[in-house]
Amino acid sequence: MKIHPTALVADGAKLAEDVVIGPYAIISAESEIGGGCVIGAHAILENRVVLGAGTKVGHGALLGGNPQDLTFDVTRTDTGVRIGKNNIIREYVTIHRATQEGCNTIVGDDNFLMTGCHLGHDNIVGHGVILANNVLSGGHVHIEDRAFLGGGSVFHQFIRIGTLAMVRGGCRFSKDIPPFLMATGENHVAGLNAIGLRRAGLTAQARMDLKRAFRLLYQSSLNVSQALEEAVHESWGPEATHLFNFVREGKKRGICDYIGKGSPEDE
C-alpha cells in the first residue's frame, strides 16, 4: 500500500494492500477500495464509496458527494456510490451519491469517464460505456452497456440511453435514446449506429433485423404504439427485440424523434 504522507485516510476505511493514494487525497471512513486501485492527487471519496479492483481515479475527482437535490437530507448516511472493476475515471469527474434509502449511484465495469464528466444522483451506468469530456447527466439517468456519449452532451434527469447508442457531442436530450441508434441535435436520432454495430461484432443478420425494426418504428406510417403492436406479429432477433422492449418500457419521457428522411443503411 502506497499512501502519500499528505493524504487523509479516515479510520474505518477499507483499503486493499496494493492501493495507491496520491498527494492530498481524502478518503472517507465509509470507503472501500479494491485491489490495484489508484487514487490521484486531490481526489476526494466522501460518504459511502465502493471502488472495484483496478479502478483508476484521476486528480481532483469527487466521488460520493451529496446530491444536488434541494429535498435531500444531507445528514443521511444510508446512500452511496458503487463503482465496479477496471474503470478509468479521469480528472475532475464528479459522481454524486443516491437519494433513495439504501440505494447507490452505480457504475459498472470497464467504463471510461473522461475529464470533467458529471453523473448525478441515482444514475445507473452499465459496462463498457464511454463518456467523453464534460458530459453532464442529471439524476436518475440510466446508461446501458457500450453506449458512447460525445463531449459536452447534456442529459435530462430520468432519461435512458440504450446499449451501443452513439451520441453526438454538444447535443442535449430530454427523451430516451433507443439502443443501437445515433443521436444528435435536441431529442433526435439520425439512424442506426452502423459503424458501432459492426465494431461490436453484431452479425449481418442482426444488423438487418435492426434496419427493419428502425423502418417500422421511424419510417412507416405508424405511430410508436402502433409500430410496437405490429412488431409483435413479426419475428425478430435478440438485438431488435431489445430495441422494441426498450421503447415499450419507456413510459416517462418518450423516445427521440427521427431527424432524417433516408434509409437507415445510409447513416
- Per residue in 70-121, pLDDT (tens digit) is 999 999 889 999 999 999 999 999 999 999 889 999 999 999 999 999 999 9
- Of 173, 154, 117, 138, the C-alpha closest to 68 is 138
> How many CB atoms are closer than 10 A to CB 208?
14
Does the active-site annotation cover 122? yes
264 compared with 59, residue with greater pLDDT? 59
* Confidence at residue 266, expressed as pLDDT on a 0 to 100 scale: 45
Q: Is residue 170 predicted with pLDDT exceeding 50?
A: yes
* Confidence at residue 90, expressed as pLDDT on a 0 to 100 scale: 98
* Domains annotated on the chain, with CATH: 2-143 (2.160.10.10), 197-266 (1.20.1180.10)
Does the active-site annotation cover 140? no
Q: Stretch 186-191: mean pLDDT, rounded?
A: 96
- Residues 197-228 have pLDDT tens digits of 999 999 999 999 999 999 999 999 999 999 99
Q: Measured between alpha carbons, how far is residue 141 from residues 30, 105, 123, 214 in Å? A: 25, 10, 5, 24
Q: Is residue 251 predicted with pLDDT exceeding 90?
A: no
Task: Report the alpha-carbon distance of residue 154 to residue 238 in Å, rounded.
Answer: 29
3-class DSSP state for residue 202?
A: coil
Question: Helices then strands (H, E): number in the chain?
Answer: 4, 29
Which of 42, 96, 118, 121 is labelled catalytic?
121
**Entry pTM:** 0.94
Residues belonging to the chain: 267
Which of 139, 150, 162, 191 is labelled catalytic?
139
Task: Report the alpha-carbon distance of residue 148 to residue 84 in Å, rounded.
Answer: 18
